[in-house]
Structure formats: C-alpha cells, structure tokens
Amino acid sequence: MMDPVVLDSALDIGFKTVPTLILVGMLALFLGVGYFFRVAAVDELWVAGRSIGSVENGMAIGANWMSAASYLGVAGLIATIGYFGLAYVVGWTTGYFILLIFMAAQFRRFGKYTAPDFVGDRFYSDWARGIAAFTTLVIAFVYAVGQASGMGLMSQYIFGVSYETGVILLMAVTIGYVALSGMLGTTKNMAIQYIILIIAFTLGLYATGWAQGWSLAVPYLEAGPQVAEAASLEAQLVEPFAFTSYYGWIALTFSLIVGTCGLPHVLVRFYTVDNERTARWSTVWGLFFICLLYWGTATYAAFGGLLYADGPGDGSFMDMPGGDADSIVLLTAQLAELPEWLVGLVAAGAVAAALATTAGLFITASSAAAHDIYTNLYKENATQREQLIVGRSTILGIGILTTIIGLNPPALIGELVAMSFAIAGSIFFPVFFLGLWWEKTTREGAIAGMLVGMVISFGAILNDTAIPMYTGVETAVIPEVAAYLPGTASALIGVPVVFAVIIVVSLLTEEPPEDVKRLVRQCHSPEPMHQMDSAEDVAADGGSPADD
C-alpha cells in the first residue's frame, strides 16, 4: 500500500479565481435548491414523500453512487495497479444487476424508511435493528473518510490551501449543507449533482483527447493506441495478474458486487420511488448513468499515465505517489494544458461527487441514529423535533470524526471505499438476501450472521490496514490471513460463511411468526400496492382477525 498523503505533488497548487468561483457557484446552487425544497416533516426528510420518478431517481442513484472514489479513485487505481484496477470498474457497475433482480422492487414493497428498519421488522428484533443501525453508522464513516480525502486533494488545486485545510473547509460545508436541506432537497440536488459531475468528467476527457489529438468522438473506443503506448512504457498496466492473483481479482470484484447490494444509502433510494416498476427502471437508468462515467475511467488512466510519464513522472507513471494517483483525473486535464476554467470544472465536479455521496451517507447515518437507535430502542414516543435534533447531532458528530481521520487517511480513496463495501457485503447482504428470499430465516440466525460478518470484515480491515497504520508497522499483523482475506475484499469468504451461519442457526431455532412470513410474501406478491403503503400495512389488512 502506498503512502496516501504526500508533500510534493504534481498538482499545480495555488489559488485560482475562476475555479474558485465555479465551486462557490456550485455550492450556492446546491444550498439554494436545498433551501427551496427544505423540509420539516420526518416522512419527507427521509424518503421524499415516495414521489420520485425513474429517470430522476436514476440520476440520484448515479450521484449518490459516484463519489470521489468513482470520479477520482478508480482512474488512479487503474493507472497504478493496471488490470487489477479494472476489478473496481466491474465490481462497481455490474453489482446493480444483482440489486435489480433480487432486491430493488422487493425493498420498495417493504416500504420502510431505512435499512435497519428492514432488519428490525423482518427479524422482529430490536437487537437486530440495533446491530444494523450500528453497521450503517460504521459504513457511512469509512465511506466518508475517502470522500474527505478527495475533497482535500481538490482544494489544493482550487484554493491553493493545504490538504488539511481543504479537508476541514469542505467537510464543514458538507455538514452545513446536509443539516440545512433534507432528503427531498437532496434528491433534487442529486439529479443536478449528477449532471454537473458527468459533464465535468466527460468534458475533461474529451478536451484532453482533442488537445492531444488522441480521440475525436468516442474516446472510450479510440484510446487503443494510447493504452498500447502506455503499456509499452509500463508493461504491468495490462499484465493481468501483476498486482494480485486470479483469486485476488475475483475476491475484490465479488466483494464490491455484494457490497453494492448491502449499502444502506443505496437501498434507501428505492424507498423514494412511487412504485416497484419505477424502482426497477430507475435501477436500469442509474446503471446507465453510472456506466457513462466508468467507461471513461480506463481512458483517463491511459491518457493521464502518458501525460504523467511525459512530465512529472519522468518516463514512468505506475509508481506515482498516492496523492497524485488519487488526483489523476484532475492531473490529466492539468497536464494536457487545458484552459484553467476547464481544469477547475473537473476539480469542482470531483467535489460535487464527494459532496453528493457524503450527503447521502450522512442522511442514512442520521436516520439510523435518530429513527432506529434513539426512537425505536431508547425513547418510543420521541417527537419529530427530538428526532431531528438527534439526527442533526449525528451528522455533526460523524462529520467531525470523518474530518479527523480524513486528515491522514490510511489508504487510497478507492481502497477506503472498497472497505466499506466489504463491510456492507459481509454484514448486510446475507441478511437482506435471505430475509427477502427465505421466509424461514429467523431472528437468531440473522443476529448470529451479522455478528460473524462483523468479526470477518472488521477483523480483515484491522489486520491489514488499521492496526499497521497506527502502529507504524508496514505489513499486516498476520500476512497469511491478509493474502486470503484483504480488508478491501473480505466478502468472498465472508458472504458464504455468513450465509451458512444464518441458515444453520435458522434451522435450529424456532420458525418466524406467521405475520413476519406474510410480510415477506407481500414483498414478492405481484399485486400492486398504494404509493404510501408498506408491506406491513397490506399484509396486516389482508390477514385473519387473529393477527395482531
């Protein structure tokens, strides 16, 4: 693993007026939209009154999904670890298919507020809900650290401030922004954020292709000669298993795919649509919008690699420092000598990506704390006002914690985010999947499974990243374990183990009550449901009087 923060950067660090204005204008627009669509009611804060259509929700899925990890991290990973980096491209796009066929519409039919809500109701246990809420908070935190890191890097170029100042400044803006707007404002904003980030990303790529005479209309297909040239400089770029084994590649891809299906802030997007058909089509639209960016990441890596080797890299690029790798998209535009406003737009787009995702993460974290922990576990009759206060304090708390860790992040942006996917994949994916598809999954099975998932995924991260980082030792605590259970890809082992635990414990314990089974059946029934209904309402309505 490379040093994440470096002092000497190839970035042109210095205050730039036009890029600053672009970023400030963008933030003003987001806050304006957030203010215009501000909300006070709980139903609107978290699920936007369940009124969002499929293209708009698809864009929101895209913006929510594409963080600094997609915008900056993936291209940097391909440029430094070659074909292994493409595991991120595959894992972070194709997972949506699994989400679509197995989970999207069923989650919409379940129709509650949050992922912990699902776990708590499906597994009829406040303990299960508490574990799920805690996991949601951890995921939001690990994921957001990567975003803070991206914000710091971009601030260096835009404002000319130090990395640390940039992290603090932009995280403060994010916290203020999320607290001021709610989910409705956020959903509207997310469509705008998607448009801004995809234009910024694509324009930077096209302009680089034009300026260098490398591509004209479709750089994704035209970059063959540049990939070949980059590969002639650095053969490892296209060497399939130079940085990992076949096992490592598959493990990472699998982990990112199941993580996609287990991320609370992704699932909550399906609660906001008007019906399950919209849930399905917005997934398709979302994947399309996501692909538009991911197709460009390998091209950026090739273009950026060549320009880097030509300039600061002195003939090579794969050994560039971590900070440069994470800024390769911006560096590509800068080294191609594009006009300052355009480079600034690329940087601002990265900030938009980081901000949009962080907003989504903080919203899920705040609802986990206010709704699932405070209201459901601690104070049953909490008022809406109390919930809002708890939610906002959570945003503030997790924001400050993220900022502190983000000042000295333990890994590259893409790797940090991959770790939160491994957590989501090992802990949430099995309980979501079995909870929806096997009605005899019991409370005891789910709790045992989530605890085992925690041990595996947290243990893997502690082993190869967290403990080495804070003890100053270079290698993993137990290197043999790290080879098969990397912190970024622990779900390939975690998921089958957790599935087995859940199934065995479920078979050994008492079957779930009949009303829970009916709840599961209602999630799969083809009968349309009303917009504001949840599966619980319908299952109870149609049930025998003895229920309840």
Using CB under 8 A as the binding rule, the residues of this chain from 203 to 232 that contact another protein are 220-229, 231
Among 61, 298, 352, 447, binds another protein (CB under 8 A): 298
Q: What is the CA radius of gyration of the chain?
A: 23
State the minimum distance, in angstroms, from the CB of residue 483 to another protein. 18
Task: Confirm if 259 and 424 have CB atoms less than 8 A apart.
Answer: yes
Among 12, 43, 340, 386, binds another protein (CB under 8 A): 43
Count CB neighbours of 27 within 10 A.
Answer: 19
Stretch that binds another protein, among 294-302, 306-314, 355-363, 447-455 (CB under 8 A): 294-302
Enumerate residues 6+ apart whose C-beta is below 8 A from 532: 50
End-to-end CA gap in the chain = 55
Q: Which two tokens stand for residue 252?
A: 């990472």
**CB nearer another protein, residue 187 or residue 283:** 283
Task: Confirm if 55 and 277 have CB atoms less than 8 A apart.
Answer: no
- Answer yes or no whether residue 250 interacts with another protein by CB under 8 A: yes
Give dist(CA 361, CA 263) in Å, integer.
10
- Answer yes or no whether residue 379 interacts with another protein by CB under 8 A: no
Give dist(CA 480, CA 477) in Å, integer.
9
Give dist(CA 193, CA 422) in Å, integer.
26
Number of residues that make up the chain? 548
Max distance between CA atoms of the chain, in angstroms, equals: 78
Residues 434-453 that bind another protein (CB under 8 A): 436-440
Residues 519-538 that bind another protein (CB under 8 A): 520-528, 530-534, 536-538
State the minimum distance, in angstroms, from the CB of residue 410 to another protein. 28
Give dist(CA 534, CA 177) in Å, integer.
30
**CB nearer another protein, residue 252 or residue 336:** 252
**CB nearer another protein, residue 103 or residue 501:** 103
State the minimum distance, in angstroms, from the CB of residue 519 to another protein. 9
**CB nearer another protein, residue 89 or residue 207:** 89
Give dist(CA 163, CA 166) in Å, integer.
5
Nearest CA to 49 among 192, 187, 178, 177?
187
State the minimum distance, in angstroms, from the CB of residue 527 to another protein. 5
**CB nearer another protein, residue 163 or residue 300:** 300
Residues 56-115 that bind another protein (CB under 8 A): 78, 83, 86, 89-90, 93-94, 96-98, 100-102, 105, 112-113
Residues 120-179 that bind another protein (CB under 8 A): none
- Answer yes or no whether residue 294 interacts with another protein by CB under 8 A: yes
**CB nearer another protein, residue 181 or residue 522:** 522
Among 64, 278, 332, 463, binds another protein (CB under 8 A): 278
Nearest CA to 212 among 199, 230, 239, 198?
230
Stretch that binds another protein, among 290-298, 396-404, 468-476, 498-506 (CB under 8 A): 290-298
Can you say whether residue 48 is alpha, beta or left, with left for phi > 0 and alpha for psi between -120 and 50 degrees? left
